[in-house]
């Protein structure tokens, strides 16, 4: 697993550079993107939750796209992470943040982009699990990175809707706080497929 983050980064950077320095930009009626925008990651659906997990994990974030050129975007994001236990209906809230680097090209009313996202999650789960009859308090931290591919369709000049698909390498650590019990931190490495719906407005 140790080489996977490096390989994903190299792959994403290669795609990003290819799109950024290609001559795919059209002349004439091609889109002209505003320099600064604000958006919402309106929905996130994790395939891995359906397959393996006993809880759902969702992440809704605010996006701040900064188009330095018509071919290069930096996109910070921050938002709320929440988990919902499928059986006990317990819910916990946390925070999420990070940024993306993307190469872009436009065709008619559609802006296509490819690049890489870096994200960090921090979540405290209270009462999700119990040990020897004692309720546990768990702190979850995760670093996520991987390539992302997306598009946005412009309904009007400064407003778009779109979607994104990404592969995430996830490195996480969970620490436990249980009365009269000592447990070592648990660490995990895995891959997740993420997809989402986006709305963005540009100025």
The structure tokens listed for 125 are 């789960």
Domain tally, the chain: 1
- Strand segments, DSSP code E, in the chain are 37-46, 55-63, 66-69, 72-85, 91-107, 110-131, 134-156, 159-177, 186-202
CA–CA distance, 80 with 61 (Å, rounded to integer): 6
Q: Domain range for residue 14?
A: 4-202
Please give the C-alpha separations between residue 17 and each of 26, 85, 97, 98, 150, in angstroms, as whole numbers. 18, 41, 24, 20, 16
Burial readout 8-20 (b: 16 or more C-beta within 10 A, e: otherwise): bbeebeebbeebb
Q: What pLDDT is recorded for position 89? A: 59
Compute the residue count for the chain.
203
Instruction: Give the global pTM.
Output: 0.75
Hey, which residues does 113 pair with through a beta bridge? 104, 150
The CATH number linked to 38 is 2.40.160.20
Q: What pLDDT is recorded for position 90? A: 62
DSSP designation for 176: E
| SS3 category, 47 | helix
Q: What pLDDT is recorded for position 132? A: 65
Q: What pLDDT is recorded for position 1? A: 52
Tens of each residue's pLDDT in the chain, 203 residues: 555 555 555 555 555 555 444 444 444 456 889 999 999 986 655 544 444 455 566 778 899 999 999 999 999 999 987 776 656 556 678 888 999 999 999 999 999 999 999 999 888 877 656 666 666 778 888 999 999 999 999 998 899 999 999 999 999 888 877 766 677 788 889 998 888 889 999 98
CA–CA distance, 198 with 104 (Å, rounded to integer): 16
The structure tokens listed for 98 are 């990070």
Q: Which helix (H) or strand (E) holds 7?
A: helix 4-20
């Amino acid at each position: 697993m140790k080489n996977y983050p490096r390989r994903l980064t190299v792959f994403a950077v290669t795609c990003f550079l290819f799109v950024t320095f290609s001559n795919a930009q059209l002349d004439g009626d091609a889109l002209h993107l505003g320099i600064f925008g604000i958006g919402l990651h309106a929905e996130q659906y994790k395939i891995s939750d359906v397959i393996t997990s006993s809880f759902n994990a969702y992440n809704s974030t605010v996006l701040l796209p900064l188009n330095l050129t018509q071919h290069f975007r930096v996109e910070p994001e921050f938002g709320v992470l929440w988990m919902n236990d499928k059986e006990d209906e317990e819910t916990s809230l946390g925070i999420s943040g990070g940024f993306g680097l993307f190469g872009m090209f436009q065709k008619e009313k559609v802006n296509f982009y490819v690049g890489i996202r870096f994200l960090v999650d921090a979540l405290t789960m209270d009462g999700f699990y119990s040990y020897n009859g004692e309720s546990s308090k768990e702190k979850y931290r995760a670093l996520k990175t991987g390539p992302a591919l997306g598009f946005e369709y412009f309904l009007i000049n400064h407003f778009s809707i779109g979607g994104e698909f990404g592969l995430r390498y996830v490195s996480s650590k969970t620490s436990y706080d249980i009365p009269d019990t000592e447990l070592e931190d648990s660490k995990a490495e895995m891959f997740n497929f993420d997809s989402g719906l986006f709305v963005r407005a540009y100025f």
